[in-house]
Amino acid sequence: MKRTVFFISDGTGITAEALGHSLLTQFEHIKFEHITIPYVNSEEKATAAIQHIQEIAVRDGERPLVFATLINPQIRQLISQSNCLLLDFFNTFIGPIESELHTKSSHRVGRTHAMTDHGSYTTRIDAVNYALANDDGITTKNYDKADLILIGVSRSGKTPTCLYLALQFGLFTANYPLTEDDLLHHLLPASLKQHRAKLFGLTIDPKRLHAIRTERRPNSTYAALQQCQLEIQRAEALFLAERIPSINSTTRSIEEIATTILATTGVKRRLF
């Protein structure tokens, strides 16, 4: 069984895709074809979208599902007349919120993922540049500016997590790979010790680490299962001894790691 799903928005469509996809994961046995139409911000584009919906309805012999975040009431009205099940993420909730707040919404389009101010744009770019400049222990000199410093053995997931925290949350996150030396001596290097409150540990299942490292450097000591086990064991002992909060990245997505770090540390995201 296959159904077609449209994500239609007068903005990027990212929110419609996120919630729509989240709902569709609850119907595992159905195959969905996705079509995203962003920036539907004129009658002309709405008419083109409707035509696309009608064509798919004829092709499938079933009306498509349409997940929409449409702020403009005229555009929404047009789309609602097409042959589809319209699930309107915006309009469904804006009414109850207006009642609760005793005020009307501004109905201004494109405020969600748009660049509403230069400040938040700059924060984000600065955060990405910070993550890149302070990746993998390249330097330990800028830790004063860090919101968080991720530590863990090589290939435990530090870099993607830092980049995610920068791009999605505007956080300044450095990362430092625990070296053989750090691990052997069961000691935090001095550069980290003075920023203890910012440290967060990443750990990983040794077998998974072995697989990841093998892909990178097959048959190396670096990738050997025994080496992976030893490093992980020592890193986890260090986290425990120094009371550094940590998370196992093995079965977690980057979003789960990032949100768990925020929930654990109380660090607040700078961007939405």
Which residues in the 19-58 window bind a copy of itself by CB under 8 A?
19, 21-23, 25-30, 34, 36-39
Nearer to a copy of itself (CB atom), residue 137 or residue 192: 137
Q: Which H or E element spans position 1?
A: none
User: Rounded to the nearest 5°, which phi and psi values hold at 150?
Assistant: -85, 135
Nearer to a copy of itself (CB atom), residue 157 or residue 206: 157
- Which residue in 113, 177, 189, 230 binds a copy of itself (CB under 8 A)? 113
- For position 213 contacting a copy of itself by CB under 8 A, the verdict is no
- Cα 135 to Cα 100, 131, 142, 231, 239: the distances in Å are 45, 6, 11, 20, 20
- Cα 245 to Cα 24, 48, 148, 239: the distances in Å are 34, 52, 12, 7
With a CB cutoff of 8 Å and minimum separation 6, the contacts of 4 are 32, 33, 35, 56, 60, 62, 64, 65
How far the first Cα of the chain sits from its last, in Å, is: 36
- Which residue in 116, 139, 194, 220 binds a copy of itself (CB under 8 A)? 116
Site string for a copy of itself, 66-105 (x = CB under 8 A): ---x-x-------------x-x-xx-xxx-xx--xx-x-x
Q: Cα–Cα distance between 204 and 28 in angstroms, integer?
A: 28
- Which residue in 45, 57, 128, 154 binds a copy of itself (CB under 8 A)? 128
Q: Which H or E element spans position 15?
A: helix 14-24
172, amino acid identity = F
Total residues at interface with a copy of itself (CB under 8 A): 71
Nearer to a copy of itself (CB atom), residue 95 or residue 233: 95
- Which residue in 132, 187, 225, 230 binds a copy of itself (CB under 8 A)? 132
Nearer to a copy of itself (CB atom), residue 28 or residue 144: 28
Least distance in angstroms from the C-beta of 180 to a copy of itself = 23
Least distance in angstroms from the C-beta of 256 to a copy of itself = 6
Nearer to a copy of itself (CB atom), residue 180 or residue 255: 255
- Which residue in 144, 218, 243, 263 binds a copy of itself (CB under 8 A)? 263
- Cα 123 to Cα 12, 66, 236, 244: the distances in Å are 20, 34, 33, 27
- Within 220-239, the residues that bind a copy of itself by CB under 8 A are none
